[in-house]
């Protein structure tokens, strides 16, 4: 969700105004997913690197985050959204951690949309954690090193219970993944737009879906193989 700061700067307003507008765009995105029956949405709200921003901005973002948790969770629950947080939540203040946990507990049985908020998240951190969890299993004698394969790692990274993402959308004009779901994105279709996150609307999201629908996903196979499998299905 990139471009909040530039959105505000273009209006000669403080960056925080952009972050607030960005929070509104989150609702646009969630509404779109609910209406279109998209089963899972993961939002990169705050990276493990974002802690390095000026203290004032980090503090204001934390306040915005806490407010959003207080304001939005009941409505999300009412609409059948299951909420979870991925990332290093130990770094957040207790008030935020409590709200995160309460939101997850309240919405755990919901089925309309799996909403994951990546907060204090980094893809490398995610993979390192999975490696550590597997090492603990090995040290305890419950797992042999030779049993560590892709499936074992996949089972220990974030969102292990969901299918890998189909589509990655980055706003704000930069063409990089910036340490988002590194493991999970291996075969995800990447889609980039100059549009700044606060300007996100339904038309843009629909354009991303239309582009996605045109792509041929081969997963390492040949085009002929994919066409055959499609014909057989
Ligand atoms: C993304 O917007 C939001 C967060 C990282 C919290 P930015 O703050 O990165 O916006 P730009 O890139 O400065 O425009
Ligand atoms: Mg940015």
Verify whether ligand 1 is closer than 6 Å to residue 50 (CB atom).
yes
pLDDT, residue 158, reads 98
Q: Which ligand is nearest to the CA of 118?
A: 1
Q: Which distant-in-sequence residues (6+ apart) come within 8 Å of 136 by Cβ?
A: none
pLDDT, residue 196, reads 98
pLDDT, residue 233, reads 58
Q: Are 109 and 99 in contact (CB under 8 A)?
A: no
Instruction: Please list the active-site residues.
Output: 2, 50
Q: Which distant-in-sequence residues (6+ apart) come within 8 Å of 181 by Cβ?
A: 42, 118, 123, 126, 158, 159, 165, 188
Verify whether ligand 1 is closer than 6 Å to residue 119 (CB atom).
no
Token couple for 136: 């603990």
Q: Are 98 and 129 in contact (CB under 8 A)?
A: no
Phi, psi of 142 (to 5 degrees): -90, -10
* CA 214 – CA 224 distance, rounded (Å): 16
Q: Does residue 41 register a pLDDT over 90?
A: yes
pLDDT, residue 231, reads 75
Domains of the chain by range and CATH? 4-122+164-232 (3.40.1180.10), 123-162 (no CATH)
Residue 195 CA to ligand 2 centre (angstroms): 12
């Amino acid at each position: 969700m990139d471009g909040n700061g530039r959105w505000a700067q273009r209006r000669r307003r403080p960056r925080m105004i952009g972050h607030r507008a960005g929070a509104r765009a989150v609702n646009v995105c969630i509404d779109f997913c609910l209406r279109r029956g998209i089963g899972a949405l993961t939002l990169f709200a705050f990276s493990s690197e974002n802690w390095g921003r000026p203290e004032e901005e980090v503090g204001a973002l934390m306040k915005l985050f806490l407010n959003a948790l207080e304001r939005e969770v009941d409505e999300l629950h009412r609409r059948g959204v299951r909420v979870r947080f991925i990332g290093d939540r130990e770094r957040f203040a207790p008030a935020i951690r409590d709200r995160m946990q309460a939101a997850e507990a309240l919405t755990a049985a919901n089925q309309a949309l799996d909403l994951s908020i990546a907060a204090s998240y980094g893809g490398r951190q995610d993979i390192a954690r999975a490696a550590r969890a597997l090492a603990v299993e090995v040290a305890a004698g419950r797992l042999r090193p030779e049993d560590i394969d892709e499936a074992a790692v996949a089972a220990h990274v974030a969102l292990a219970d969901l299918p890998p993402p189909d589509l990655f959308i980055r706003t704000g004009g930069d063409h990089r993944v910036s340490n988002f779901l590194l493991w999970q994105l291996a075969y995800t279709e990447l889609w980039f737009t100059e549009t700044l996150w606060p300007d996100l609307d339904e038309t843009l999201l629909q354009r991303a879906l239309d582009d996605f629908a045109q792509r041929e996903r081969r997963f390492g196979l040949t085009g002929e193989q994919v066409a055959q499998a499609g014909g057989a299905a």
